[in-house]
């Protein structure tokens, strides 16, 4: 089905309504399997059981970056193709992205306490994730402070695209100021440096997190469409109200 068919919000509501229960079910199953596998994964010989924080921490870090990428695609959809659902998608993704970034920061600091002896270090990677979080909050603040959705949508789209230059900085900051945080060890030219007993649960958890995101995102988009309809209806009603002219 071409993307333009989804431009009709009514058709989108219908299709997403059909998909949502299946997506929610798949997310639940993937999360259950992932948590089971993660629970049975061997402990690290140095870090003990705390290494299991990774199964939450790493997928949320991936999603934190991937959601901004998705928002950038939606921003292109808003600015270039004027797709009517693109700014709905971008707006619905922002708080979810902020939530995953916060999960990443919180689990990271809980993991850092036993490992590094402190909740927070000003390491390059942590700092750039914190900045990503601040940027998510900035976009949310922008959406909240302007009442006209299409005006806010275009401004947020430009800000998102400019912010996308921050994503490569996050990825490469590890190599620039390699300090306390371990360098990237899953996506490497020489292949993963993680043993399969850890890698498989990690990938299942990543799949589960992606499914959770897609489910939440579709639901949030449906809410946003309905919210805009309510807003339009209220404006029509206010205009038609007697005594207002």
Binding site for another protein (CB under 8 A): 79, 131, 134-135, 137-139, 141-142, 145-146, 151-152, 154-155, 158-159, 161-163, 165-166, 169
Minimum distance from CB of 130 to another protein (Å)?
A: 9
Nearer to another protein, 80 or 226 (CB): 80
CA-based angle 17:22:23, to the nearest 5?
A: 90
Q: Which two tokens stand for residue 31?
A: 């999360």
Nearer to another protein by Cβ, of 29 and 141: the residue is: 141
SS3 state at 162: helix
Closest CB to another protein among residues 169, 234: 169
Q: State the nearest-atom distance from the C-beta of 161 to another protein, in Å.
A: 7
Tokens linked to 161: 């695209």
Whose Cβ is closer to another protein: residue 33's or residue 146's?
146
The distance of closest approach from Cβ of residue 115 to another protein in the complex, given in angstroms and rounded to an integer, is 25
Q: Where are the alpha helices (DSSP H) in the chain?
A: 9-40, 54-76, 86-116, 124-145, 149-163, 166-176, 196-240
Cβ-contact 164, 178 below 8 angstroms: no
- Closest to another protein by CB, 115 vs 140, is 140
Give the Cα separation of 17 and 217 in Å (integer): 12
Instruction: Report in angstroms how near the CB of residue 131 gets to another protein at its nearest.
Output: 5
CB of 141 to another protein, least distance (A): 6
Q: How far apart are CA 141 and CA 226, in angstroms?
A: 21
């Amino acid at each position: 089905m071409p993307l333009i068919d989804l431009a009709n919000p009514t058709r989108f509501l219908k299709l997403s309504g059909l998909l949502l229960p299946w997506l929610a079910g798949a997310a639940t199953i993937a999360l259950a399997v992932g948590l089971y596998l993660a629970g049975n994964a061997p402990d690290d010989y140095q870090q003990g059981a705390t290494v299991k924080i990774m199964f939450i921490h790493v997928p949320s870090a991936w999603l934190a970056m991937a959601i901004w990428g998705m928002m950038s695609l939606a921003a292109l959809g808003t600015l270039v193709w004027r797709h009517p659902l693109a700014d709905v998608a971008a707006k619905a993704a922002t708080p979810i992205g902020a939530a995953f970034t916060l999960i990443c920061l919180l689990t990271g600091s809980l993991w850092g306490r036993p490992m590094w002896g402190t909740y927070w270090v000003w390491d390059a990677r942590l700092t750039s994730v914190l900045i990503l979080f601040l940027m998510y909050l900035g976009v949310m603040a922008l959406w909240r402070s302007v009442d006209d959705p299409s005006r806010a949508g275009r401004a947020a789209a430009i800000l998102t695209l400019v912010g996308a230059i921050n994503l490569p900085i996050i990825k490469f900051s590890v190599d620039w100021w390699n300090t306390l945080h371990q360098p990237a060890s899953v996506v490497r030219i020489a292949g993963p440096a993680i043993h399969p007993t850890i890698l498989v649960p990690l990938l299942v958890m990543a799949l589960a997190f992606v499914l959770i995101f897609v489910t939440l995102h579709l639901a949030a988009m449906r809410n946003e469409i309905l919210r805009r309809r309510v807003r339009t209806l209220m404006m029509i009603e206010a205009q038609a109200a007697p005594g207002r002219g």
